[in-house]
Amino acid sequence: MLSQNKFQHRTWVEISKNALLKNLGTFRKVVGGRVKLAAVVKANAYGHGLEEVSKIFEKGVDFFAVDNLTEALKLRNLGITKSILVLGYTKENALKVALENDISLVVYDKNILTRIASLKYPKKARVHLKIETGLNRQGVKILKLLPLLKIIKKNERHILVEGAYTHFANVEDTIDSSFAYRQFSDFKRALKLIRESGIKSKYFHCAASAATLLYADTHFNMVRIGISLYGLWPSKETKIAFNLKGGKVSLAPALSWKSIIAQVKKVKAGESVGYGRTWIAPRDSLIAVIPVGYSDGYDRGLSNNSRVLINEQYAPLVGRVAMNMIMADVTEIRSVKRENVVTLLGSERGTSITADELAERIGTINYEIVARINPLIPRLVVD
């Protein structure tokens, strides 16, 4: 059953609760009972709906990971009491708000650490040290780690190192593990420095979805699972490498994106459809107008370069994707009517359009396809 009445919407996203829980169960089996699981729900839960997904995962995960304080506070406002880690930057003037809401923060800068300590909050600030090992985004390089550790030791009354972690740069894009293991080695060197400084950390984590599937020795005592909790493989290379290792995991895509037909119209041979007249009807055609476009997250690069599902059949997109409309050629589909359901992404009785397919058509990754679906579009939870 839908958690809302889908028929009031022109376009909506359906999220399968069963698929999400199946994927969670799969990763619980992969990592075993001793490894904590952090569900990464940043970017509106990779487009799946922060509120909807977090409520489904609340009882089954140990941690939530988000990008920013706004997302973290939304989870707290939902009544979620599980640990929450902000992976991205938190502005100095918002640090106190984070502490007041028992939110863990990433740290890699001595100025931020000093600022946190200066707040002298009654409860220790929980922080995760981000170690730079080769991705060269945010993080502290090992050569500059000791000054941070000294600040932490000096302010142990106010700062608790809850975790230490890093992030791999090249696991998803290759089946060659050499660079990943170079990073892994550097991370272990950093952990040794942390231990030798006398600082005790509860969690160590470096594996996201791909590394969790491919390299069991990188699990430590916590993993961060994002894209694959939603039933999507991080990349073709990840799936190939996993299969070469003899792995057997089935991921269940949890998201379907749907709309309706707003109008069905006849177009004569030689007439054009859409802006720029980029598609000319080669024959008398039947065109379905669908009220969704690039403002909803349906990429303009899919113009004349995609397909939708109507009545369990594929209908090619014709003409340019506009801000709020796309058109499909339904000449070969029987019994097409106004307000028929259109599947933009998802399955209909054995036929499907996947995020990987759409990503390949426009030269991007499945992450972007789902994460860019407009958050204002309703997310409806289905079984």
Cα separation, 91 vs 114, in Å, equals 14
Is the Cβ–Cβ distance between 226 and 42 less than 8 Å? Answer: yes
**What are the Cα distances from residue 342, in Å, to 2, 13, 168, 301?**
17, 12, 38, 19
CA angle 316, 277, 331 (to 5 degrees): 30
Q: Catalytic residue among 150, 192, 266, 275, which?
A: 275
> Tokens for 207?
């594996």
Going by C-alpha positions, the residue among 290, 289, 288, 285 that lies closest to residue 272 is 285
Helix (H) or strand (E) holding 99: helix 95-100
> Tokens for 347?
């399955």
Going by C-alpha positions, the residue among 92, 15, 26, 27 that lies closest to residue 54 is 15
275 is catalytic: yes
> b vs e for 210-235, b when ≥16 Cβ sit within 10 Å of the residue's Cβ?
bbbbbbeebbbebbbbbbbbbbbbbb
Q: Catalytic residue among 42, 108, 203, 215, which?
A: 42
Indicate which residues carry an active-site annotation.
42, 275
